[in-house]
Chains A and B, each alone.
Chain A
Amino acid sequence: MLSCLVALLLCSISPPGNVAARDVPNDEGGNISVTWTRSPDTSVTSYRLLRQSEGAGEWETLGFVGRLATQYTDDAAANGRRYQYRVIAASPVETAESEPSEFAVASAQWYDTDTLPALVGTAILVFVFLYFINRAKRDRNLFIRRISGLDHVEEALGRATEMGRPTLYVPGLSSIADVATIASLNILGEVAKRTAKYGTPLIVPNTDPIVYTVAREIVKESYTSAGRPDAFTQDIVFFVTDQQFAYAAAVDGIMTREKPATNFLIGMFFAESLILAETGAATGAIQIAGTDAVAQLPFFITACDYTLIGEELYAASAYLSREPLLLGATKAQDYSKAIIVGLILLATLLALVANVSVNRFL
């Protein structure tokens, strides 16, 4: 009775309870998650976390969290070492310390079980792709429907040749890590082969230094394979700047001064998309655009003559080159889409009829 009273007087806020520590799963180690139940007192403003490694004999402060928190992740635990934790409730005037937790050990895992759906999905898609690419080696007559933007590449380049004006190719404003840039560079290869053949001047300004080096090699290769290595000069492919709007300003300048008859705006674009496309439209150039940046598509659609929408960009290099392996991959993309539509239908059916939540498994 007396001890109770003394405790009440000495320590009027009660400490947090049930402090538990355990290794955070599916990580590279180093993390231990600490949980507790909050102190019932409303005057608590925050909780302080203390840690002690086994045998150290000293508690070190880790950090603090707000009064509504019931969890803290210690991200500085050494793998394999045993730690225990305490949580201190703090009000502006006093503190109350919890019992220490059990010992916990952080460890690294070799497989992240959360990625299982991605692993299965990747495996299925890789299988579908390999199957169709393999089949394409035998089947020489894979069909691809018309893609209107690409059907007009020849015509657009022909027009530039007739008018004796250059062709401008903008390979997007992103880095090589953006797959849209790679798709664009593949199309650039095909376009460059044709400009080399027709003897039309080509202008390829770049905004990413790495993309610039790749674009340069690709165009050089195209000129060589078209039998015009002599026509490849230093000033076809050049770097401008890596600043988005400085690049837009420079390309606008090129469009209005050099007056290219044909503009290709293909790859990854951001807000500058319409600055380029509208200036190009004002100079009267035929414009073929293509991007998978959904936010920029509306602007290309309104300001360009032809626009490759999303996936059409990725079908383009197969379409232009007619290479069987690439066509096989396009076929695989179609089957994968069918699989996805099938999955959506199936999952919805299950969810509605049997009330099975497929999301639980994804």
Chain B
Amino acid sequence: MTPQDSAARPNLWTRLQAIDRRWIYLVIWIVVMVPLLFPFPIKPKPTTPVEKLFSYIDTMPAGKALVISVDFTPDTRAELQPMIVALLRHAFATGRPVGVLAMAVYGLGLGEEALSQVTAEFNAHATTHEDSVINGEDYVFWGWTTPPLTVMLGMGERIANVFPVDYYGARTESLPIMRDLRNYDDVGVLVTVAASAMPRSWIVYGQTQFGVHLGCGITAVSAADFYPYVNSGQFVGMLAGMKGAAEYEQLVMERMAKNKMDWGLRNRGTEAMSSQTSAHLAIMAFIIIGNIGYFATRRRKS
């Protein structure tokens, strides 16, 4: 804030020109925080890659499993965790068997968190055994093992060999769900949710060697890197960043409404997306105000 800036006769615009940046910070803070506290969901229209993944999972042959690979760490949780939650809800709402594994060791906690959240949501509304979502019957959490190559190849042969015990310590062989979830043949689609290059490894090992169908959920920054794989059909669909997560949540909410599951669930991605939208709008408004001020001052000077 140099003195020259305020030397001109201070009208509103010139004052805005030299506004203390802390006002900008305050506005950003408010517009991001308020939608998180008091969600006003903006309903995003799903884009093609998101719709593709949704309808692929929605129309998989009965009995085929959805496998989610948690390949990210807590630092990208805000963007990626909502994807896992939405995918789990979709699978449980449509009665798909679900398998969850983690390629990132720090992803274990994230997988566990998402599973306990979503299973609790479903079981809270369950009245019969059929309605409930039960560990070992409707879903399995295999946990983490390394190296990735061994996992990706081994799952093509026998998943129970790769993960002899699940995350909770039960022998995977003994779980009823594993009877129909032997290897990639029983997997309808495997969705890798990652902030790294892991989706590429899944293509190289899982897909080119076993032909497993893949989908991916990635951060907004890496979206451009993965578009080519969606266009070539190597990924049946893709969720990119919070926007992708929010769009998928919308589709899942519509599906659940159709299945009479209007439980008023919170959608972290959609909520965060309203924060995103308001932050983007605020920044754009700042740019516009700055320019109006700029032209107003310039006219005054000339």
Contacts and interface: CB of A to CB of B under 8 A. Distances in A.
A259 to B, nearest CB: 14
Contacts of A65: 153, 209
A8 B205 CA distance: 32
Interface residues of A, number: 12
Contacts of B182: 92
A45 B208 contact: no
Contacts, number: 36
Interface string B156-198: 1110000000000000000000000011010000000000000
B109 interface: no
Interface string A275-300: 00000001010000000000000000
Given A45-B183, A92-B182, A282-B21, A66 B2 contact: no
A41 to B, nearest CB: 14
Contact of B209 (A68, A92, A282): A68
A68 B157 contact: no
B156 A45 contact: yes
B222 to A, nearest CB: 12
Contacts of A95: none
Contacts of B21: 282
B211 interface: yes
B56 interface: no
B13 interface: no
B208 A64 contact: no
Nearest to B207: A68
Nearest to B206: A66
B185 A66 contact: no
A92 B157 CA distance: 8
Contacts of B122: none
A231 B158 CA distance: 71
B157 to A, nearest CB: 5
A144 interface: no
A27 to B, nearest CB: 19
Nearest to B149: A63
Given A45-B156, A45-B185, A66-B156, A284 B2 contact: yes
A67 interface: yes
Contacts of B205: 66
A69 interface: yes
B210 interface: yes
A53 interface: no
Interface string A154-189: 000000000000000000000000000000000000
Contact of A64 (B157, B183, B206): B157
A46 interface: yes
B209 A45 contact: no
A45 B157 contact: yes
B209 A69 contact: yes
A69 B211 contact: no
B153 A64 contact: yes
A351 B232 CA distance: 25
Nearest to B152: A66
B208 A46 contact: no
A66 B212 CA distance: 10
B157 A69 contact: no
Contacts of B185: 45
Contacts of A282: 21
A326 B186 CA distance: 65
B183 A66 contact: no
B18 to A, nearest CB: 12
B242 to A, nearest CB: 18
Given A45-B157, A46-B156, A68 B2 contact: no
Contacts of A92: 158, 182
Contact of A68 (B158, B183, B208): B208
A68 B210 contact: yes
A67 B156 contact: yes
A284 B3 CA distance: 12
B48 to A, nearest CB: 27
Interface string A33-51: 0000000000001100000
Interface in A64-103: 64-69, 90, 92
A67 B2 contact: no
A45 B157 CA distance: 6
Interface string B1-39: 010000000000000000001000000000000000000
Interface string B140-157: 000000000000010011
A67 B185 CA distance: 11
Interface string B205-235: 1101111000000000000000000000000
Interface centre among A46, A66, A282 (most CB of B within 10 A): A66
Contacts of B153: 46, 64-66
B148 to A, nearest CB: 14
Contacts of A69: 208-209
Nearest to A92: B182
A46 B185 CA distance: 12
Interface of B: 2, 21, 153, 156-158, 182-183, 185, 205-206, 208-211
25 contacts: A45-B156, A45-B183, A45-B210, A46-B153, A46-B210, A64-B153, A64-B157, A65-B153, A65-B209, A66-B153, A66-B156, A66-B205, A66-B206, A66-B209, A66-B210, A67-B156, A67-B211, A68-B210, A68-B211, A69-B208, A69-B209, A90-B157, A92-B158, A282-B21, A284-B2
Given A45-B183, A92-B182, 16 more contacts: A45-B156, A45-B157, A45-B185, A45-B210, A65-B153, A66-B153, A66-B205, A66-B208, A66-B209, A66-B210, A67-B209, A67-B211, A68-B208, A68-B209, A90-B157, A92-B158
A-B pairs, 3 with minimum CB distance: A66-B209, A66-B210, A69-B209
